[in-house]
Structure 1
Amino acid sequence: MALCGGSRLFPGVRSWFHRSSVLQSTCPPHSGFFGPVEDVMLSSGTFRDKVAFITGGGTGLGRAMTSTLSQLGAVCVIASRKLEVLQQTADEISSQTGNKVYVVQCDVRNPEDVSHCVDKMESLTGLPDVIINNAAGNFVCPSERLSPNGWKTITDIVLNGTAFVTLELGKRLIQRQRGASFLAITTIYAESGSGFVVPSASAKAGVEALYKSLAAEWGRYGHRFNIIQPGPIKTKGAFSRLDPTGMFEKSMIGRIPTGRLGKPAEVANLAAYMSSDYATWMSGAVIRLDGGEYVSMAGEFNELRRVTPEQWKTMEDMIRNTKGS
């Protein structure tokens, strides 16, 4: 019996599966059970006298993490290529939190630029206690249309950029006998792979291997390395390249068991905890924050959640009447 593909006995199954996500114009009702709490989770002085360095800190998740850490008392240093964007973000966050946010222009693809960036940070704040590698790039593209330059652009930012920042800071911290928390922001498909974002999937998987490797090697120097894998979170920069038409947002929500997209503040709260002294026994960890999307896509029979009670009754009658193996 080919029930899940639609059959002459029960033709409604396939058509119901195929149209279900299209019919969802808003978050489903059960998303109300999983409403986000976007307030800062930890106490206000958690990062007092700490310096936090965040790449890609001017926008999106980087901005959210910078805001949270600044509210918790950290002196933040944010870096990216766009100095104007960085300065605007720094001014806005500083005015809200009362804590200084410094800006350092840096192209993480260039190791010399990274070295100069760290030199400047040292002169401003000293070496950081918290390093968050968040700078990223991505776009959707069929792999047969992918150019060498497209591959190189993404892997240079994501994998090489993370490696250059991590190694430059790690070596200096080791030399000065300073411990630190390193955190990388990857994605759930770093674990599974994904078509149409092959450079990003490959680079993010490399970042995870880098961080797990250094967690084993550099713990002896007081360094710990952890990873957050966010699921879909609607930020302007990410969605403009990954869902430019808006046509995939509904299907994303349809496959997330909690029935909604994530919020930047949720990632920021988790990042703050993992980077704090409350988590000093956490190293080499990969934390998935995705509303259950990964496990929803992974299970072979999970699409059966779309079957109605009436359809289940018909299917159960068919199953009971099956003879033999």
Structure 2
Amino acid sequence: MTESLPINPHCLLKCFEFYYLLCITSLPDWNLINQQCIYECENEVVADFNEYCSDDNNENEDQCHSCKYQCQENCIDCLDELKIETCKFGFYLIDNKCLSICGDLIVASDEKCDDQNKEPFDGCFKCLYSCPLNCQGCIDGQCINCENGYFLENNKCQEQCGNGIKTQNEECDDGNLFIEDGCSEICQIEIFWKCINDQKERSWCFQIINPTVELQFLNTTFNKQFILITSSQQVRLTDNHHNLTQNLKTQIINVSRSDYIITFDVEAEPTFEEPNEIQYLFTIEYIKQLEVELIFHIQFNITLVNNYGLEILKKEYSIKLTNPIVLSKAQKDLSKNTGLF
């Protein structure tokens, strides 16, 4: 507010030009109105009475208004612009500033809410409204509806196992609560199973088993026998310094190696870099007629795993063979002479 003084004696002291004890012109920064000298507050000059500041404007909330100090924001009592005495309710005097403290359960004027915790999706986070997790729409921190696959309960979007929609904390959801089908009753992938999701987020599960090796006897042609060795799944080597061929050991059990010759053709072979099926065609050529029981034996001296890291557990395989007819040289000559060959 402005200060006014009577003409005698104060206005005389602020008068620049007189006429018979009447002030005609006032000094600078003073206005002469009805023989009263009224000081101009907004002139950046602090007068010597009842004026504490001057900032050359009439703006409010800039720490000086009508030449009086204003308290800082959220302050209700201050000695000057530098010294705060009392803050508004919900604010605390910290470093000569009135600041709110989020988490004190008091909703101050610069806060929307205060639930005294740091949980990010419970409707209030850092003293501002926030939508609960997996909520599609909310008003003032209260969820109105949840995303697909969730149901609303106590202002939280809860997962619903068994509805055929895989949600964030579910490993799978195959649309049922059965066990031993790959996805358990709590929507977790069961051991030795793998689950994938289609575009509708429904899980489809299939069983993962260890790969195996199969030996198959094909046929016998005179003194030769043919055996096919295959794997049930694609596998790869775990050692990049070797190959599979170098780590296969084959034999006819209890038969001298001088009595037979084993060769093979590689039709498919895994490596360390590239998984593949095992497919070997073995040929056993007998040198002489054998009357003992013939058992073909193969041993893998290297580790082989499938795409899920499951290992071929069995390292040795055997298959019983029939005894082929091996003609001696004399028998072959006789056969030729009789036209059998």
Under TM normalisation by the shorter chain, which class is it? under 0.3
Greater percentage in helix = 1
Structure with higher RCO (Cα < 8 A, 6+ apart): 1
Structure with higher strand content = 2
TM-score (norm 1): 0.19
Using the size of structure 2 for normalisation, the TM-score is 0.18
